[in-house]
Structure formats: C-alpha cells, structure tokens
C-alpha cells in the first residue's frame, strides 16, 4: 500500500484553505492555518517553508504577514504539493535493490507509480474547492 505522509496530508489541507481564500486575496497567517486545520504549529511551519520553496505559495513577512497561493487554484495540482513535501516519490525505489536488472516485478512498481502520479496530477486545488 502506498502511504502518504502526514506532511503531505497537512500540506494539502493548508493549500485547500488557501485556495478558498484566493479570489479575495486574503493573506492567511501560519497560526490561522494551523488552528483552522488542526495542524501542530511547529510542524506546519516546516511544511509551509517547503511549499514556499516549491513556489506554490508567496509569503509576506510582518505583523499582518502570512501566505497566499502563488497562482490560480486551477494551476496547482495535488502532485505539485505532494512532490514538494515527500522525500521518497516512488512506491518502490528499484535503484536501491541490487537485483533491479534481473527483477521481473519492477515493471509492476513502475505502472503503479505512473498511475498514482497521473491521478495526483489530474486533481487541481480548484477541483477540491468546488
């Protein structure tokens, strides 16, 4: 079973909240997002930093600071978010196996990865806030 980390689950929830605020251009603080989504604040700060480094959000510093999406919700897909947050992006990393050249099952893992990534890429934040 492919497992999505809490980091990606929380990151997606935060991005959905920001997508809901996109049209009004409302800046959301890390505190507001972590409170509304029930995400531990310290953990969320690490998540939003990675999301910002991936250019999915823009940050504004200061007392009235916070985050907004860097582009329209229909231009950000779930794969963008998961890719920004996950270290291991494959169900099975065949390069770590000494038998990868002779392995008769690695095609299965490749198909699973392709299908999984295609699904994540097909879902935008706009789809999630409809």
- Whole-structure pTM value: 0.90
For 41-80, what is each residue's pLDDT tens digit? 999 999 999 999 999 999 999 888 999 999 999 999 999 9
- 77-95 burial, b at 16+ Cβ within 10 Å, e below that, comes to bbbbbbbbbeeeebbbebe
Following CA atoms 7, 10, 16, 22 in sequence, which dihedral angle do they give, to the nearest 10 degrees?
Answer: -80
For 18-35, what is each residue's pLDDT tens digit? 999 999 999 999 999 999
For 80-106, what is each residue's pLDDT tens digit? 999 999 987 777 777 777 777 788 888
* Per-residue pLDDT, 83: 95
């Amino acid at each position: 079973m492919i497992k999505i980390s809490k980091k990606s689950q929380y990151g997606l929830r935060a991005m959905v909240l920001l997508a809901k605020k996109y049209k009004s251009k409302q800046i959301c603080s890390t505190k507001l997002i972590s409170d509304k989504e029930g995400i531990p604040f310290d953990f969320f700060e690490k998540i939003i930093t990675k999301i910002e480094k991936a250019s999915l959000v823009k940050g504004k510093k200061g007392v009235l600071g916070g985050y907004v999406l860097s582009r329209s919700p229909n231009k950000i897909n779930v794969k963008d978010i998961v890719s920004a947050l996950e270290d291991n992006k494959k169900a099975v990393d065949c390069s770590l196996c000494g038998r990868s050249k002779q392995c008769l099952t690695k095609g299965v893992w490749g198909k699973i990865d392709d299908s999984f990534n295609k699904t994540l890429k097909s879902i935008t934040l706009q789809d999630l806030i409809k």
